[in-house]
């Protein structure tokens, strides 16, 4: 392989294969092919009025024959257009005659083409200018585009600058009326379209033409075209408006054409306006509506269909042109005749019993006339051979009907139609069967969650809706039976909630106090053992304890109040006289006994009055020198201590000697104050 080939690589190449026994070789010639070199030595010769001859010398074809040459030019006055192709020349030519435009500055160049591609462009030729000349052509598509009344707008397609052919180029605009203005032309000059002529009549016809002009002269004589001044809306409405009723939904409208002089423009056609309110005897109030039907310019009659039967219409017509519509004609009123009514708006069905069906309906929204009644048709749907039953309803006020003696096993088709004087209208259809007596649901499905059970079932389609209840209890804790509210069988779903996770439940489904299905189900989750309330947490026990504590507080308060008033514990005699607390005789860890019956009675029946021993100073006084501690027996109630009668000198058995509830335990202190206050 030879890479990066250059012209110096051309030549004959030989390849040899040599072995011990023999040698072979082959030779080949390498020739390079490339795009041609550009032509050289461009010259412009034989310049005539609008033709020159361009000569050139071909460049090297680089081993690939020249196929053709392309001659390009550049206008020095319009360099923004760049180089443009002017002519293609055969490969065997070395010159060409070029047609040129007047009043232009040319430079030329040539490009050679072979199988390898295009050469680079040649160097441009010397500048060549063509002389000016009169225009060769006139602008095209001359027309009027008048929009405003009393104006004539003349316009055209602008000419290419190369066709100006000389300096001081402009357009010569000429116009004259087609009728009444004579052969004289009005003319004006302008350098660009459009040209506007004012103070002319509305929609008047003019001959118009536009001619190209430059300093060297005029272009060819143009042919005139017809244009019109601006249009205005028509002045008059069509006359002799007539309406022919063909049927309840179709009319034929006729009119006389308007005078062309009053159109003040090109007549485009007529517009027919139909206005209506609501149907007579219609139950629905409708707003006033208007529909427009458009015709052609040459029409003088029109059939209009799809009208509403038994409806009042107002009709008017106007002419129109591109500027707008003229005045409306006088209104013509008419009433369409009665037609067959529309279908009843709705129909519903109920079934009072297994052999009866009651139909309820609403009258048609479009009666299209005066309703005379209804016609009901019905049949069994099991076979097409079943006879069609017909019931005529004579009054339009009847909106329901009960059919009796129907087959409870059959389905029926019902067709209801309203009637007017024009006949029966469209029907409304309903399919159905009688409703059977209600039954509880069947095919009940259950799905358990942690605290609920979802139940679903199939509703019986033809059966009446019934209510049933679900009874349930937890087998884990042996709780009482619970039941749900009444469940409607048409719901097809119910959620039994408030259950305990991980519990086994038994469910009974009852209808009219009879069980129609039962099952068991396990809720999801882990079972939670219910903690039984202890005795100490019972409400009645807490109340009793609270009452006792409150009573003790009241007693203590009363004792303190009595002590503050200086109350004394009354006794007749204490031994032989006052003694020191340490010298008093004690027996069985008690104070001295008293034989007086009165004293015993006083000790055994303490009073809450002024002389109560429980509230005396001596009972509330603690002996500072005694440190006797006894065990309080909680099994004996305070009530028994207060109710015991004359049992000896120890009225409060089991109460510590230093207790304020023991009247004999604490003799008065020497200083007259309780020891706990010292």
Where does residue 358 rank: exposed (0-12), middle (13-18), buried (19+ CB within 10 A)? middle
| DSSP structure class, residue 93 | -
Tokens of 560: 């303190």
Tell whether 531 is covered by a domain: no
The pLDDT value recorded for residue 286 is: 59
> What pTM, to 2 d.p., does this model score?
0.49
Tell me if 140 sits within 8 A of 210, measured CB to CB.
no
My answer on whether 382 and 467 are in the same domain is no
The pLDDT value recorded for residue 144 is: 92
My answer on whether 361 and 309 are in the same domain is no
Question: What residues contact 177, with CB distance under 8 A and at least 6 apart?
Answer: 204, 205, 206, 207
Tell whether 513 is covered by a domain: yes
Question: What residues contact 180, with CB distance under 8 A and at least 6 apart?
Answer: none
In angstroms, the CA 182 to CA 169 distance is 30
b/e map 153-172, b = 16+ CB within 10 Å? bbbbeebeeebbbbeebebb
Phi, psi of 81 (to 5 degrees): -80, -15
The arrangement of strands across the sheet holding 442-448 comes to 442-448, 452-458, 493-497
In angstroms, the CA 217 to CA 165 distance is 10
Phi, psi of 537 (to 5 degrees): -100, 0
Rounded mean pLDDT for each run of 10 residues along the chain, 678 residues in total: 72 84 84 88 88 93 91 89 92 92 92 93 92 93 89 93 92 88 83 92 89 94 91 92 93 93 91 80 65 93 93 94 92 93 94 93 93 94 83 94 91 94 93 88 90 90 88 84 91 90 92 91 76 63 90 91 66 44 40 39 39 37 35 37 39 40 39 34
My answer on whether 473 and 513 are in the same domain is yes
The pLDDT value recorded for residue 590 is: 38
Among the candidates 407, 434, 461, a domain finishes at 434
Tell whether 35 is covered by a domain: no
Tell whether 295 is covered by a domain: yes
My answer on whether 84 and 53 are in the same domain is yes
Tell whether 271 is covered by a domain: yes
Segment (H or E) for 600: helix 597-604
Among 136, 93, 128, 137, which Cα is nearest to 112's?
93
Question: What residues contact 98, with CB distance under 8 A and at least 6 apart?
Answer: 51, 52, 53, 54, 71, 73, 86, 87, 108
Among the candidates 336, 371, 404, a domain finishes at 336
The pLDDT value recorded for residue 154 is: 94
My answer on whether 162 and 197 are in the same domain is yes
The pLDDT value recorded for residue 99 is: 92
Tell me if 571 sits within 8 A of 595, measured CB to CB.
no
My answer on whether 332 and 377 are in the same domain is no
My answer on whether 264 and 350 are in the same domain is no
In angstroms, the CA 412 to CA 360 distance is 15
Tell whether 391 is covered by a domain: yes
My answer on whether 379 and 426 are in the same domain is yes
SS (H, E, C) 524-575: CCCCCCCCCCCHHHCHHHHHHHHHHHHHHHHHHHHHHHHHHCCCCCCCCCCC
Number of neighbouring beta carbons within 10 Å of residue 653: 13
CATH number at residue 193: 2.60.40.10
Tell me if 255 sits within 8 A of 241, measured CB to CB.
yes
- Domain extent, residue 474, equals 442-523
Q: How much helix, strand and coil, in percent to the nearest 5, is found in the chain?
A: 10, 40, 50
Domain count, the chain: 5
Radius of gyration of the chain (CA): 64
Phi, psi of 544 (to 5 degrees): -65, -45
The pLDDT value recorded for residue 261 is: 86
My answer on whether 402 and 477 are in the same domain is no
My answer on whether 123 and 144 are in the same domain is no
The pLDDT value recorded for residue 28 is: 83
Tell whether 163 is covered by a domain: yes
The pLDDT value recorded for residue 319 is: 95
SS (H, E, C) 202-241: CCCEEEEEEEEEECCEECCCCCCEEEECECCCCCCCCEEE
Among 251, 255, 233, 261, which Cα is nearest to 242's?
255
Q: What is the pLDDT of residues 251-302, one digit of tens each?
A: 999 999 999 889 988 999 999 999 987 555 555 555 678 999 999 999 999 9
My answer on whether 200 and 285 are in the same domain is no
Biggest CA–CA distance in the chain, Å, is 183
Tell whether 203 is covered by a domain: yes
The helix/strand/coil state of 260 is helix
The pLDDT value recorded for residue 282 is: 53
Among the candidates 314, 336, 358, a domain finishes at 336
Does 212 sit behind a cis peptide bond, omega within 30 degrees of 0 on the bond before it? no
The pLDDT value recorded for residue 646 is: 37
My answer on whether 383 and 430 are in the same domain is yes
The pLDDT value recorded for residue 148 is: 86
Place of tokens 């200083």: 671
The pLDDT value recorded for residue 575 is: 43
């Amino acid at each position: 392989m030879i890479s990066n080939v250059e012209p110096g690589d051309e030549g004959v190449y030989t390849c040899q294969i040599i072995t011990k026994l023999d040698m072979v070789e082959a030779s080949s010639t390498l020739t390079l092919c490339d795009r041609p070199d550009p032509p050289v030595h461009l010259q412009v010769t034989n310049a005539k009025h609008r033709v020159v001859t361009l000569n050139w010398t071909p460049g090297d074809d680089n081993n690939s024959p020249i196929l053709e040459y392309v001659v390009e030019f550049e206008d020095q006055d319009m360099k923004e257009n760049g180089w443009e192709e002017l002519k293609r020349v055969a490969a065997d030519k070395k010159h060409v005659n070029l047609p040129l435009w007047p009043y232009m500055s040319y430079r030329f160049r040539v490009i050679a083409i072979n199988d390898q591609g295009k050469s680079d462009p040649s160097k441009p030729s010397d500048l060549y200018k063509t002389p000016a000349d009169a225009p060769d052509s006139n602008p095209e598509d001359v027309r009027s585009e008048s929009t405003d009344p009393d104006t004539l707008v003349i316009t055209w397609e602008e000419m290419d600058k190369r066709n100006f052919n000389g300096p001081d180029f402009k357009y010569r605009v000429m116009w004259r009326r087609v009728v009444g203005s004579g052969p004289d032309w009005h003319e004006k000059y302008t350098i660009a379209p459009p040209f506007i002529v004012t103070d002319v009549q509305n929609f008047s016809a003019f001959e118009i033409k536009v001619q190209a002009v430059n300093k060297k002269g005029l272009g060819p004589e143009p042919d005139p075209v017809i244009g019109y001044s601006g249009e205005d809306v028509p002045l008059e409405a069509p006359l002799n408006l007539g309406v022919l009723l063909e049927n309840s939904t179709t009319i034929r409208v006729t009119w006389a054409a308007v005078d062309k002089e009053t159109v003040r423009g090109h007549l485009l056609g007529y517009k027919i306006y139909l206005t209506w309110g609501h149907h007579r005897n219609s139950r629905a109030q409708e707003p006033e509506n208007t529909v427009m039907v458009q015709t052609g310019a040459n029409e003088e009659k029109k059939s209009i269909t799809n009208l509403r039967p038994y409806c009042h219409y107002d009709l008017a017509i106007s002419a129109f042109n591109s500027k707008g519509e003229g005045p409306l004609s006088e209104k013509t009123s008419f009433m369409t005749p009665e037609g067959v009514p529309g279908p009843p708006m709705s129909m519903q069905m109920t079934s009072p019993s297994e052999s009866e069906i009651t139909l309820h309906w609403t009258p048609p929204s479009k009666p299209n006339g005066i309703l005379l009644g209804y016609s009901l048709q019905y049949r069994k749907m099991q076979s097409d051979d079943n006879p069609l039953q017909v019931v005529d309803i004579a009054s339009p006020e009847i909106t329901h009907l009960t059919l009796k003696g129907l087959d409870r096993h059959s389905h029926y088709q019902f067709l209801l139609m309203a009637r007017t004087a024009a006949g029966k209208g469209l029907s409304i259809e309903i399919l159905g069967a009688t409703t059977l007596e209600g039954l509880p649901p069947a095919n009940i499905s259950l799905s358990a969650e942690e605290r609920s059970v979802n139940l679903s079932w199939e509703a019986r389609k033809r059966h009446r809706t019934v209510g049933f209840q679900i009874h349930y209890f937890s087998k884990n804790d042996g709780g009482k039976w619970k039941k749900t509210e009444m469940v409607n069988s048409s719901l097809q779903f119910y959620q039994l909630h408030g259950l305990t996770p991980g519990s086994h439940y038994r469910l009974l489904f009852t209808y009219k106090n009879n069980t129609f299905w039962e099952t068991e189900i396990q809720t999801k989750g882990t079972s939670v053992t219910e903690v039984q309330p202890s005795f100490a947490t019972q409400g009645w026990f807490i109340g009793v304890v609270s009452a006792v504590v409150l009573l003790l507080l009241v007693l203590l308060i009363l004792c303190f109040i009595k002590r503050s008033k200086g109350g004394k514990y009354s006794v007749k005699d204490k031994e032989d006289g006052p003694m020191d607390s340490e010298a008093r005789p004690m027996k069985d860890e008690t104070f001295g006994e008293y034989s007086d019956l009165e004293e015993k009675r006083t000790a055994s029946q303490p009073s809450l009055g002024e002389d109560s021993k429980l509230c005396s100073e001596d009972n509330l006084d603690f002996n500072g020198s005694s440190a006797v501690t006894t065990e309080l027996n909680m099994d004996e109630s305070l009530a028994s201590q207060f109710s015991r009668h004359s049992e000896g000198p120890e009225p409060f058995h089991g109460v510590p000697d230093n207790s304020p509830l023991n009247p004999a335990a604490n003799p008065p202190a020497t200083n007259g104050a309780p020891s706990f206050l010292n």
